A and B are shown apart, each in its own frame.
Chain A
Amino acid sequence: MRKTSSGTSKVPFLRKPAIQSIIASLICILGGLLVGFIVLLLMAVFSKDIPISEAFRGILIVLSGPAAAGNARDVLFTCGNMLFTATPLIMTGLSVALAFKTGLFNIGAPGQYLMGAMGSLLVALSIPQGSIPSWLVWILAFLTGTLLGVLWGSIPGFFKAKFNVNEVIVCILTNWIAANVVSWVFYANQEKFVNIAETKTNFIRKTVSNGVSTATLGLDKLFAGSYLDVSIFLACIIAILLYVMLNKTTFGYELRACGYNRNAAKYAGMNEKRNILLSMAIAGGLAGCGAALWCLNGQQDFKWNTYQSLPNVGFNGIPAALLASNNPIGVIFSAIFLRYIDTGGSYLPGETSFNEYVSQLIIAVIIYFAGFSKFIKDYLKKKQMKKETAATIAGDYVKIPDKPIMSPEENITEESPPQTPVPEEPGEVAETTEVPDGPNAPDGGKDGDDQ
């Protein structure tokens, strides 16, 4: 592939798939902010108590993220917590993105997340302090959480592969099963796990009470008072590994082939059912791992009484993945961005006349717009594809010497391709979240349901 990078110099900058992905995401963010601003403006207009200028101040606060905190010390503290809370979001974003790459919609991240939280907490709090080194307990707890995520992701994967049951339906079921299983397990063992000392009856003891917490490497000092620990780096490393796995390995090649065209994958002898199962299992593992990273921080309260609600961080993985066009590296940035906006929004009630619900509303609007990133990207791609297809068809004959049809100054030859998308570029990876349904593939659309 190294060779190809020379070819990319010919590609107009704005036509590169990676750039198009980023443009699409930026358009979404801008659109979301704009609508958010309009909401603030309308509120100011229709409320006697809020001057119009508050709307401008409000959107600026949302935009400034942790910087809205005020003095440097507070900003650092807020930054630390922003990054810390972004960690599980990166993981659930990766979970959703990986499944999308294989043509599956993992809406089961909340359930996988819950199972991961339960697994890691049970292990971290059950092994008596001092019996084995606490770092070993941490690793065991981390692995247990991840494995339970794997298990929970495998269930929809299994039903999809074996019986072609829509994974979305099974995911939703497993989400609620997880919510109830977790509630039940902790309810049955309240005296052991629940934090009675602090009379927080619905919360599990912090793992640090058992001596288990993630290493901080001084991050808690740098971002004084925050919860930040090395888990953010672990999440980034996992994202990079996932990117390499998807784009450089035979396994990733298979997964993407299955996602793009399941029939062709089968034709080529790939075990598409195994790949579906594996993809969902890994996706579940990623979500479970995200939960483990959050819980094992040591300082976190986990609300065990979850049977009526699912963790938002699981669902927010979907906009994180969409905003990043399913590129694992992109997910790091999109997740941090979502947390950034959220952090800024949390200062709205304190700093302006808007209440906290407005901040949630704006964030919701931005997340909603994140869903459009694929739409916008498809639009950009379609416009380009229309030109490209015609150009390539006409280009069939560039090798026939007798009658060149190109104007001389724009001669296209095999050596100087007009456009060269390089698959390795981050954006390219994220191209399709669905089975191919382009203009040339009338059959592509139905290949998900070949049974």
Chain B
Amino acid sequence: MENTTSLPVREPGPETEPYVIEMRNITKEFPGIIANDNITLQLRRGEIHALLGENGAGKSTLMSVLFGLYQPEKGEIYKDGKKVQINNPNDANALGIGMVHQHFKLVDVFSVLDNIILGVEPNTLGFLRKKDARKRVLELSENYGLNVDPDALVEDITVGMQQRTEILKMLYRNNEILIFDEPTAVLTPQEITELMHIMKGLAAEGKSILFISHKLNEIMEVADRCTVLRKGKYIGTVNIDDVTKEDLSAMMVGRNVKFAVDKEDAKPGAVMLDVEHLSIKSRIHKKNAVNDVSLQVRSGEIVCIAGIDGNGQSEFVAALTGLEKAEPGSKISLDGEDVTKKSIRYKNTHGMSHIPEDRHKHGLVLDYTLQENIVLQRYFEKDFQKAGFIRFDKVREYADLLIEKFDVRSGQGALTPARSMSGGNQQKAIIARELDREHKLLVAVQPTRGLDVGAIEFIHEQIVASRDEGSAVLLISLELDEVMNLSDRILVMYEGEIVGEFDPKTTTVEELGLYMAGAKSQEREKGGNDNA
């Protein structure tokens, strides 16, 4: 922290045109808390300006102020040098401010096209002119390489495609100030590269981009300048060319963070998970979403399934954990016992822990309190119920224990409604619940999705600790950094099949990328001996 605030800040020269957006000395208070404390953000035309900070640093609040969702107590907003008053999102839209939210704002049962034109539907006398809109959307999606199917329903498409829909939504509205709220959280390396390319292209065309992120690599790659917030305070604005990744990280966290995961070599033991010939029908197309996959995970090792989003990983996990049915002929054994046809409850109580991909959809009952969520799979156990009545005192005790052990932070402790917790702490609560349950196998799906550096570090440590205690870990991740850092063995899944097995020590990200994109396959090369 010592030298970070004194890093050089480029002031706009007298010849520079006025900032396209300038937020001056914004202070936003909530009862008892100052979420934004005298924060200044200056966005130049045609620049990519990163807004860096951990979860809860005040980025979202600041953006909500810019979007008119909150009114700041102090501070002013200028657009092109003129003071503006933004009272609601409509004002922001009128000023050309568009945003891709971290949690997408899409209508599930509408098509991609319908979502894009929603609110600005081209019409003649009230009749939709979808043809024009469609043409424009296709043009935009081609120009920017945002591959979407305009007629697919949003509920049927992958998270990645949903995000591209969101980006198209902004482009379709001709917004000139584009806010990306952690846009890469769900993308593959290739997609991220592509997105970076798109962002640079947009900036070159004169659009101004606010890029909210805590991924330092991406900021280093794409951003021109970076404003760092920590705990609601303004830490500084720096030119990316003048700083290193470590500088930024120190500014953001206030201490030095290690990027690599400390772990010893794996000591694989007995086979804990044995999957044989697992196939699952696809809901979207006629082919199998997962086709004849066989793999083993031993105790004491972390096996990672890498792959681009939508290549069958979600379906694979759903079948593994029992959320979906596998095709006949599939066999899943847990610690030597055939559990293919067993219920989710049976698997839960016989050693399978599952950190789900979507913490809001599966992981939590958002309207339950933290403590009720902590016992989501255990409420019926002897410790927590007596004659059918939940022993809330024991639940409370247990929840407090886990909160302490896993450092889950929330406003009202065990009684906080899960809905009002931050994403990082929601995830921590799930991790706490899953890791504290007795387990022989941990299935962790994107356990660090959308989390900040500090939380990622913590979760990685916990997963490694679980491995070292003898648990088998099956990790499904889209983040190659995570894959390379955490796993002891890497499997690449492409179009529902395992196309390669790698040792993270000897392979490279580039090689994995080739397999993930389907350009290479070990099965093709070696005649299928890796899949047997």
Contact = CB atoms under 8 A, between A and B. Distances in A.
B25 interface: no
Q: Size class of B's contact patch? A: 35 or more
Nearest to B412: A417
Interface in A117-155: none
A393 B32 contact: no
B405 interface: no
A396 B70 CA distance: 20
Contacts of B58: 394
A391 B31 contact: yes
Nearest to B416: A392
A250 B412 contact: no
Contact of B390 (A253, A391, A443): A253
Nearest to A394: B33
B410 A395 contact: yes
B365 interface: yes
Given A403-B231, A406-B34, A267 B420 contact: no
B193 to A, nearest CB: 26
Given A420-B415, A441-B360, A267 B354 contact: yes
A250 B409 contact: no
Interface string B356-381: 10101111111111001000110110
A405 B409 contact: no
Interface in A270-297: 270-271
Interface string A429-443: 001100010101111
Interface in B1-47: 30-35, 37
A77 B262 CA distance: 80
Contacts of B360: 440-444
Contacts of A438: 366, 419
A269 B347 CA distance: 9
Nearest to A399: B409
A2 B33 CA distance: 29
Contact of B411 (A2, A257, A395, A445): A395
Interface stretch (B74-82, B91-99, B102-110, B291-299): B102-110
A312 interface: no
Interface centre among A7, A269, A444 (most CB of B within 10 A): A269
Contacts of A436: 365-367, 419
Given A268-B377, A392-B420, A438-B419, A418 B411 contact: yes
B372 A445 contact: no
B189 interface: no
Contact of A267 (B37, B362, B366): B362
B254 A250 contact: no
Interface in A48-102: none
B525 interface: no
Interface residues of A, number: 68
Interface stretch (A21-29, A198-206, A212-220, A407-415): A407-415
B61 A7 contact: no
B56 A249 contact: no
B364 A261 contact: yes
A6 B411 CA distance: 16
Nearest to A248: B389
A407 B34 contact: yes
Nearest to A392: B411
B344 interface: yes
A263 interface: yes
A310 interface: no
B372 A442 contact: no
A442 B55 contact: no
Interface stretch (A166-174, A185-193, A343-351, A381-389): A381-389
Contacts of A423: 369, 372, 415
B392 A257 contact: no
A263 to B, nearest CB: 5
B415 to A, nearest CB: 6
Given A396-B425, A421-B415, A269 B232 contact: no
Contact of A412 (B37, B388, B411): B411
Given A268-B377, A269-B344, A394-B33, A422 B231 contact: no
A39 interface: no
B31 A442 contact: no
16 contacts: A248-B392, A249-B385, A254-B379, A261-B361, A263-B361, A264-B363, A267-B321, A268-B344, A268-B377, A269-B347, A269-B348, A396-B409, A397-B231, A438-B366, A442-B103, A442-B360
State the 9 A-B residue pairs at the shortest beta-carbon distance, nearest first.
A269-B345, A417-B412, A392-B411, A443-B361, A1-B392, A396-B56, A267-B362, A269-B344, A410-B32
Interface of B: 30-35, 37, 55-56, 58, 60-61, 70, 103-106, 108-109, 155, 230-233, 254, 321, 323, 343-349, 354, 356, 358, 360-369, 372, 376-377, 379-380, 385, 388-390, 392-393, 396, 407, 409-413, 415-417, 419-422, 424-425
Interface of A: 1-4, 7, 248-251, 253-254, 256-257, 260-261, 263-271, 385, 387-400, 402-403, 405-407, 410-412, 414, 417-424, 431-432, 436, 438, 440-447
